[in-house]
With several copies, the nearest count.
Chain A
Amino acid sequence: MVQVQEAAFDLGAELDSFGTGLADMGAIVSFTGVVRDVDGGLEAMEIEHYPGMTAKALEAIAADAMGRWSLGGVKIIHRFGRLVPGDQIMMVATAARHRKDAFEAAEFLMDYLKSRAPFWKKEHLKDGAQWVAARGEDEDALRRW
């Protein structure tokens, strides 16, 4: 259900294996986060995490989603380490009978991942490095649920 890893993942293969055996689930939603170089100066994105806590925190978020919506399954993969623009950082996938459940659960997972999973991003720019600040709107997004 949850993978925390340094290695890249194959989104297509992950979604295929996720969908297999869920034939009574009509709706599968995925979200993929990609490192983006907004201002053109990003050399790398370093992702730090809290090894002892990360998998547990993600599993708790996944279990929370399973309890709130009628889902056939949830998958979360999150990478750590040094990534470059264009690299996939993470993915979530949800499977449900109805598309509304699959969409809402995927958005919920993302909102919680952003602000409640112990990851921190550091941008390595051409002219220095800086930690990415949490955004107020990400914290606000949790109030929906």
Chain B
Amino acid sequence: MDVLYFAWVRERIGLPKERVETSAETVRDLVAELVAREERYEAAFADLSALRVAVDQELSDFDAPLGDAREVAFFPPMTGG
């Protein structure tokens, strides 16, 4: 699956997008796998309440099942307008 990062999440992790092979069942499981990898992921995901997630380009939540999702994106609360 493609995992995308935006704004300061992108900056902390150091890349905008990566391909991740995972069998995580939920977004939260995927986060746990990423955090276990390297410190920069731990830093980015330290406070999930400060993050938002989109699954296949729809806003979702951390307990959502990943199912056949092809794209998961992590970012801070949006500041459009």
Contact = CB atoms under 8 A, between A and B. Distances in A.
**A and B touch in their complex, CB below 8 angstroms:** yes
Interface of A: 33, 48, 50, 52-53, 56-57, 78, 89-90, 99, 110, 113-122, 131-134, 139
Interface of B: 4, 6-8, 54, 57-59, 71, 73, 75-81
A54 B7 CA distance: 14
B42 to A, nearest CB: 19
B77 A118 contact: no
Contact of A33 (B59, B78, B81): B81
Contacts of A122: 7
7 contacts: A33-B81, A48-B6, A50-B4, A50-B6, A114-B79, A118-B73, A131-B79
Contacts, number: 70
A118 B79 CA distance: 8
Interface of A is mostly: mixed
A52 B75 contact: no
A123 B80 CA distance: 13
B32 to A, nearest CB: 23
Given A122-B7, A131-B8, A50 B80 contact: no
Contacts of B76: 120, 131, 133-134
A119 B80 CA distance: 5
B74 to A, nearest CB: 11
